Every structure is written in structure tokens, then in C-alpha cells.
């Protein structure tokens, strides 16, 4: 069964304290891995798409990397405004036409000033 596991469930950092979030996945053929940010009461906001092992994407203080079994979201020198829930999702390369995303339960990040 296709599955996405994120760790840790919650993470508290001091402003400027770099860290990484983990997303482990089991999927029958990976079409793409997606990172989203979700603020309370809001919809998920797209951050990155990764398609193949070894690929990296960067945006401001965030950097996403991908291996054959997991992805990391590295946060460098975080600021309080980076506080949010970070969601990882995979899209499987099924034989059919479905594009559904399989989500993990997220990592709740709190950055203290």
C-alpha cells in the first residue's frame, strides 16, 4: 500500500536554528513528490515538486531534496514567519489516469523569536 510518513510530528526551533524535516514514502513507482505549507485555517500552499532521486529545489530559507526512499525539507536560519504545518505528498505512477496525491500527516513547525 502506498504510504507517506513524516517526522517529527512537531518541531520547535529558536529563530536562526537550522533543522530538517523528513518525509519517508513507499509507493509503487514515484511520479512526483510535493511539499506544501499549511497555515491554520488556510489551504495548503505549494512549495516544491521533486521528480527524481538526487534532485534539489530551493526557495528562500527552504531547500528540498529527494532520494529513492525519502525527502528532506531543510530550513536554514528560520524566522517566526516560517511557523506552519509542512505537508509532504506523493503522486504514484499508476497505470491509470489518476493524479491523486497521498499526503503525510505533516510536521508542525514552531519558530520562537
What phi and psi, each to the nearest 5 degrees, are found at residue 55?
Answer: -75, 145
78/106 with CB nearer other proteins: 106
Tell me whether strands 107-112 and 10-14 are parallel, antiparallel or unpaired.
parallel
Smallest distance, other proteins to C-beta of residue 67, A: 20
- Least distance in angstroms from the C-beta of 10 to other proteins: 12
Nearest-approach distance from CB 104 to other proteins, in angstroms = 6
Binding site for other proteins (CB under 8 A): 31-32, 34, 36, 42-46, 49, 87, 89, 96-106
Rounded Cα distance, 47 and 34, in Å: 8
Backbone torsion region of residue 16, taken as left when φ is above 0, otherwise alpha when ψ lies between -120 and 50, otherwise beta: left
Given the complex with other proteins, which of 15 and 39 has the nearer CB atom?
A: 39
Nearer to other proteins, 3 or 18 (CB): 3
User: Between vectors from CA 18 to CA 113 and to CA 31, what angle results, nearest 5°?
Assistant: 120
Amino acid at each position: 500500500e502506498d504510504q507517506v510518513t513524516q517526522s517529527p510530528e512537531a518541531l520547535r526551533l529558536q529563530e536562526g536554528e537550522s533543522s530538517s524535516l523528513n518525509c519517508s514514502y513507499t509507493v509503487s513507482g514515484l511520479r512526483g513528490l510535493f511539499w506544501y505549507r499549511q497555515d491554520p485555517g488556510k489551504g495548503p500552499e505549494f512549495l516544491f515538486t521533486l521528480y527524481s532521486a538526487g534532485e534539489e529545489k530551493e526557495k528562500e530559507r527552504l531547500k528540498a531534496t529527494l532520494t529513492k526512499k525519502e525527502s528532506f525539507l531543510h530550513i536554514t536560519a528560520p524566522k517566526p514567519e516560517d511557523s506552519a504545518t509542512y505537508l509532504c505528498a506523493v503522486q504514484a505512477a499508476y497505470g491509470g489516469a489518476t493524479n491523486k496525491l497521498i499526503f503525510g500527516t505533516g510536521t508542525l513547525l514552531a519558530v520562537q523569536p
